[in-house]
Amino acid sequence: MHLATRAIVCAVLPHGEHGAIVRLMTAENGLLPGYVRGGRSRRLRPVLLVGNLVEADFRSRTDAQLAALTVELAESRAALLGEPLAAIGIEWATALTAAALPEGQPYPHLHDALDGVLAAIAAAPSARGWAGALVRYELLVLAELGFGLDLTACAATGVTEDLAWVSPRSGGAVSRGAGAPYADRLLPLPGFLIAGGDAGWGDVVAGLAITGHFLTRDVLIGRAATILPARARLVERLSRLA
């Protein structure tokens, strides 16, 4: 197997005395692992930072063998890792990608969306400019893995207007009228997840509550659940701004 492609660094795990196993998100082949010789060296540590874009070259004798991987930096986001909110946003988006996706399966929409979230974090003057995009990315992860939410119509009545909640059981939207008697059991649905546009801090926190419920229940289970404390730190930091 030989693959040369541009990719997003999503996870780096030390291996042996000097090497690293790196998981990259590629546009055409999805999440791919590879072994980088000298991946913990002074030269490669700044390259192998989560969120960075790299030119990657994978080589292996068989498809079952962990590929040998060489990387060259294409775009660095190292400066953002010095900003607390930007750093935790990048770390969470890449950790979610690495933990949730099966390896070797193409998810072009997720690749493009992750690249867009990282670009938004780099360009926005504050977290207000990218937090909504991160919520939408989590929704897309759920959808691409078969756990998509239906926010187009009320699950109880079929109406498409005045949708105010999400059912924590079905993942379907619920209208204000149908859900009023059960409001304490439902998740508030922020308008930006339906109509698009900018999201206020309260809307972002409400959106994270929805995606967090379904990610925890359906996707981040078993070993993948070990990344949930990182998400809790992100939600706590963003909630302070609401």
pLDDT in tens, 99-126: 999 999 999 999 999 999 999 999 998 9
Q: Answer whether residue 131 shows pLDDT above 90.
A: yes
Please tell me the pTM assigned to this model: 0.95
- Helical H segments across 145-214, by residue range: 176-179, 192-195, 201-214
Report which residue type is found at 141: V
Instruction: Write down the mean pLDDT value for the chain.
Output: 95
Tens of pLDDT along 174-196? 999 999 999 999 999 999 999 88
Q: Answer whether residue 38 shows pLDDT above 90.
A: yes
Strand partners, 57: 4, 70
- Helical H segments across 166-242, by residue range: 176-179, 192-195, 201-214, 228-239
Which is higher by pLDDT, 63 or 79?
A: 79
In this structure, are 150 and 51 located in the same domain? no
In this structure, are 120 and 232 located in the same domain? yes
**Total domains in the fold of the chain:** 2
Strand partners, 55: 6, 72
Instruction: Give the domain-ending residue among 76, 101, 120.
Output: 76
Backbone angles phi, psi at 25, to 5 degrees: -95, 115
pLDDT at 85: 94
Domain that holds residue 160: 79-239
Paired tokens of 124: 């926005």
Q: Answer whether residue 142 shows pLDDT above 90.
A: yes
pLDDT at 62: 82
